[in-house]
Chains A and B, each alone.
Chain A
Amino acid sequence: MTIKDARKLLDSRQITAIELVQFYLKNIEDKNKELNVYLEVYDDCLTQAKEAQKIIDEGKAQSLTGIPLGLKDNILIKGRKVSGASKILESYTATYTATATQKLIDQGAVILGRTNMDEFAMGSSTENSAFGVTKNPHDPERVAGGSSGGSAASVASDMALGALGSDTGGSIREPASFCGVVGLKPTYGAVSRYGLMAMGSSLDVIGPITKTVTDSEIIFNTIKGKDKMDSTSIPHPDFVSTSPKLGEAKKIKIGVPYHLLEQGGISEEVKENFEESVAKLKSLGFEIKDIKLLNIDKSLAIYYIIMPAEVSSNMARYDGIKYGLSKEGKDLLEVYKKSRGEGFGPEVRRRIILGTYILSSGYYDAYYGQAMAAREVIKKEFTVAFDAVDAILTPTTPAPAWKIGEKTSPLENYLADIFTVSANIVGVPSISLPSGYVKIDNKDLPLGIQLMAPHLGEHILFEIGKKFLKE
């Protein structure tokens, strides 16, 4: 079932919001123990559903009224626990509500609970969660991806109709691809970051994970918009994503940077599936163009400089003093060091220390300064490319989901972001679409393709995506 289907059933009184939420609670009860998707299921889901039913009965239903959704554990709701999947916030209760969540609540959506993730969104597999890894519903021996792994798995395993995630370098798109669902990273600023735990503030954005592109658009249209609580948020125009008849309207041009596929480390299955996807898009009437983005191979290096630099600054707020975990020490310094040493997991500590190095005098120019200059060049490169094409297509990930525990070095994990980080560096919107399966160890593992569009070009992604998935 999709959000669109559920809306029809709710509005035509064929089901009630209570029955709908019960269906999802039952699935959670059946599957959560094995898959570890939810860190907490709220105890008032039925009360929320009853409230939603009242709105429906009054004939005032909006697109998400009564729709059961999952919420990544780094997005706040006042009075509810939220941990960022970190020990340092294990018993923290949010003191305010994120704008994106407030918009869902205002429509009467039912928030089922908080979904698992890599600690403070740092990772690509949820293996960095302080509360255990989320397993892939398609093969529980494999990771669900990350950092929004719980959100992606919740949608793939019918434990939610849709979910919110956050994306700093691919954290919505990569798990969506691994779980065979649709993940949208909106334009930077299109969705308010107020109430999202900060990781890399110039890169972070909240976005939806759903079964279909139509559902992605429904959630995006609800949560987008300028917010006075986030000065980097921007107004988003209301585009109606229309479907002009092929041949009548101007042909949409999709650019494919084929040279990116020639670099090492990309699996044969991914290359093959990508070729099939390109052929499918061609047959749907899209014009495919070979383009070159000559500096895009430096995106990942730029990302792993800018991101840890911003992480080291953002994580400074967790000090064991104001809120969260506090460890005893003989003096203030020891309280800081013990609280942060024990409260943060290994990956978070690693990124903070790396960021501290990158920002220290003597190295600042060689790393951070250089990365910022390179970021501008990549931005320009994309601007030029988007003059020639309407969208850019790549695989979402270099390989399907890996086995839990298989990747041992941090750098190996980082390479999973190779296709996704560019959109965050440039700030453009990007979507991952399920593009089929590959059989490995007798299991069907999902693969995905990624489309990027110019700033505020979400409607282009929706248009191509709906045709690709035949919606």
Chain B
Amino acid sequence: MQDMISKEEIKKLADLARIEVTDEEVENLKSEMGDILDYVKLIQQFHSDESFPKGKVEEGSDIEVGQLHNIMREDENPTESGTYNKELIAEFPKKEGDYLKVKKIL
């Protein structure tokens, strides 16, 4: 269980997720995530083709419901430009006029 995930891996994941974590938290996460991953790995013993217990439920029959499918719509009737500007701009943490202000990237 201890070997499920290393401290280095956790630091890398936190980096990827853009979350600053302390060394102490990395230590805690290592054991907590180890426990969780150890629990959820029971999913890996799952073989979808074999384990579906068709005969085990009485009077059962095979009907497909809830199939996933894509829902499409025409790209039309756009909102008139500026409709929501006021409220959205009001929520900017930093702004200059109506512009969102961010740190220089390059």
Residues of A within 8 A of B (CB): 78-79, 92-93, 95-96, 231-232, 289, 291-295, 298, 300-302, 304-305, 312, 319-326, 329, 331-333, 335-338, 340-342, 344, 346, 349-350, 352-354, 356-357, 360, 366-367, 370-371, 373-374, 376-377, 379-381, 383-385, 387-388, 409-411, 414, 426-427, 454-455
Contacts and interface: CB of A to CB of B under 8 A. Distances in A.
A294 B51 contact: yes
A469 B14 CA distance: 48
A383 B64 contact: yes
Q: Size band of the B side of the interface?
A: 35 or more
Nearest to A318: B18
A93 B91 contact: yes
A190 to B, nearest CB: 13
A384 B57 contact: yes
Contact of B43 (A232, A332, A374, A409): A374
Contacts of B81: none
Interface in B55-97: 56-66, 71, 73, 84, 87-88, 90-94
B42 A298 contact: yes
Contact of B32 (A300, A325, A373, A411): A411
- Interface-centre pick from B14, B32, B44, B93 (highest chain A CB count, 10 A): B93
Nearest to A341: B20
A301 B39 contact: yes
B39 A411 contact: yes
Interface string B30-50: 001101110111111010100
Contacts of B93: 320-321, 323-326
B46 to A, nearest CB: 5
A294 B56 contact: yes
B25 A357 contact: no
Given A326-B93, A455-B65, A332 B46 contact: no
Contacts of B104: 331-332
Closest 9 A-B residue pairs measured CB to CB? A341-B20, A326-B93, A384-B60, A323-B91, A95-B87, A336-B18, A337-B20, A294-B53, A388-B59
Contacts of B48: 373-374, 376-377
Contacts of A93: 87, 90-91
B36 to A, nearest CB: 6
Interface of B: 5, 9-10, 13-21, 25, 29, 32-33, 35-37, 39-44, 46, 48, 51-54, 56-66, 71, 73, 84, 87-88, 90-94, 100, 102-105
A203 B13 CA distance: 24
A235 B53 CA distance: 32
Contacts of B73: 231
A106 to B, nearest CB: 21
Contacts of B20: 337-338, 340-342
A350 B25 CA distance: 10
Contacts of B5: 357
Contacts of B102: 321, 332, 335
A93 B41 CA distance: 41
A322 B91 contact: yes
Contacts of A300: 39
27 contacts: A95-B84, A95-B91, A232-B71, A298-B43, A300-B39, A301-B39, A301-B42, A321-B93, A325-B93, A326-B94, A335-B102, A335-B103, A349-B21, A352-B17, A353-B10, A353-B13, A354-B33, A357-B5, A357-B9, A371-B40, A379-B66, A380-B62, A381-B52, A384-B61, A385-B60, A387-B57, A409-B32
